[in-house]
Amino acid sequence: MQSTKPVRSICVYCGSGFGDDPVFAENAAALGRAMAERGINLVYGGGNVGLMGTVAQSVLDSGGHVTGIIPDFLKSREKLLEDVQETIVVPDMHTRKRLMFEKADAFVAMPGGIGTLEELVEQMTWSQLGRHTKPILMLSTKGFWKPLLTLIAHMREQGFIRPGLELNYLVAERVEEVIPMLEASARRVGIVENADMIETKF
């Protein structure tokens, strides 16, 4: 029997603001509900503001589990969401990102600012370098991530993303697609890795 990699926790990267369209917050709430309904834990940045606060509160309101990880210097600026089951205060951003990576089985980038972009690109880089095979998905609400996808295509066309160093990521336009796409990707990775282990034995 082939083993698979279940998605038990998702790290969600998203803005500490709401953006200019109510659909961003609506999708954050919908994703939180869907995660809780599937028994998938949320790992996120720990604050109660903007989209990050919305997705976390939605998970909690729907009976799900939330782990918030926040650097000490951001506690007053982003304000901790007090109701989460697990809050980890860390000394710096590097520790925050490392723990978020370790506690997550997959990553979702919702609309956000430069911090969201930085976290997303870091995971894509680690994957490109072979440091992990966890699914990475961009929720491109209203085409939010299209400019980044255009830039990635430009990098490929100019020879900076070379064969053998392709980026591994998923793109969903609707929030309903997120969890099924992540789970399908995790299953594929689990099957491939299991096959590689079998081949190694012989």
Query: All domains of the chain, ordered by start, with CATH?
Result: 9-201 (3.40.50.450)
Q: What is the distance between the alpha carbons of residues 162 and 41, in angstroms, rounded to a whole number?
A: 35
Question: Each residue of 52-85: pLDDT tens digit?
Answer: 999 999 999 999 999 999 999 887 676 777 789 9
**Residue 146 contacts residue 140 (beta carbons within 8 Å):** yes
> Any idea which of 36-40, 45-49, 107-111, 189-193 has the lowest mean pLDDT?
189-193
Is residue 193's pLDDT more than 70?
A: no
pLDDT at 191: 60
> Any idea which of 125-129, 150-154, 186-190 has the lowest mean pLDDT?
186-190
Q: 57-74: string of b/e by CB count within 10 Å (b at 16+)?
A: bbbbeeebbbbbbbbeeb
pTM score, whole prediction: 0.91
Torsion of CA 65, 35, 127, 16, to 10 degrees: -70
Question: Each residue of 90-148: pLDDT tens digit?
Answer: 999 999 999 999 999 999 999 999 999 999 999 999 999 999 999 999 999 999 999 99
